[in-house]
Amino acid sequence: MPQIFHRSFNTISRVSIFGAIFMLAALGAAWAKFVRSDYLTGVGVQRDQPIPFSHQHHVGGLGIDCRYCHTSAETSGFAGIPPTRTCLNCHSQIWVNSPMLEKVHASLRSGESIVWNRVHNLPGFVYFDHSIHLKKGIGCASCHGRVDQMPLTRQVASLYMEWCLDCHRHPERHVRPREQVFNLAWEPPPDHVEKAGELLRAYRIERKTDCSVCHR
């Protein structure tokens, strides 16, 4: 039987097959990198807010404790958003006529709450409880970063499941004494990981990675 295709087509076929495999692998790697990119996760993005509230000024500069505004962080799953009256505890006395605070005063006059844009927004199928993490010695900065250094609040972690699981599998890296939970500037000592076992036992921390822990 006469040969229909030239012998060179064997080489072309092999190159095409291997090229297609490498191309698919490259596309897969590019996609994996894209879904973890800041563009998709929102890391580093400063959300527009109705009022440009600065944690750097209020927390870092004035030393206001997280719990003054986020009153329910220690007792419920939701950290809480401060009502207008909390802002006016101070701003009814200082910077009263600042144009920047007009929306705060308007909120008090109308009785309508200020609508803030969420910076850390977990999917609806994820259960997260602020109170249990704080009671177990996980500091605010472990998830929210150094907000005391942020003129405008931004997200510092991907909030992906792999990020949560890394902490659940290695809690010794993040656990701290309870009295340091709200200290955003706290730095672990050099031997922290070695001695963290004492805190894990004291707080009865388990390495929970079951699906039902977060997906209920």
Q: Would you kindly state where each structural domain of the chain is located, as residue ranges?
A: 8-35
Q: pLDDT tens across 71-106, in order?
A: 999 999 999 899 999 999 999 999 988 999 999 999
Q: pLDDT tens across 38-79, in order?
A: 877 889 988 889 999 999 999 999 999 999 999 999 999 999
pTM of the model: 0.81
Q: Residue 1 pLDDT > 60, yes or no? A: no
What's the confidence (pLDDT) of residue 152? 93
Q: How far is residue 55's CA from residue 186's CA, in Å, rounded to a whole number?
A: 17
What is the CA angle 94-95-97, rounded to 5? 125
List the end-to-end C-alpha distance of the chain, in Å, as a whole number. Answer: 67
Q: Residue 37 pLDDT > 80, yes or no? A: no
Which of 153, 154, 182 is CA-nearest to residue 57? 153
Q: Residue 9 pLDDT > 80, yes or no? A: no
The Cβ of residue 132 has, within 10 Å, a number of other Cβ atoms equal to: 10
Q: pLDDT tens across 148-178, in order?
A: 999 999 999 999 999 999 999 999 999 999 9
Give the residue ranges of DSSP H helices in the chain. 8-35, 38-41, 55, 66-69, 84-91, 102-110, 130-135, 140-144, 161-169, 192-202, 211-214
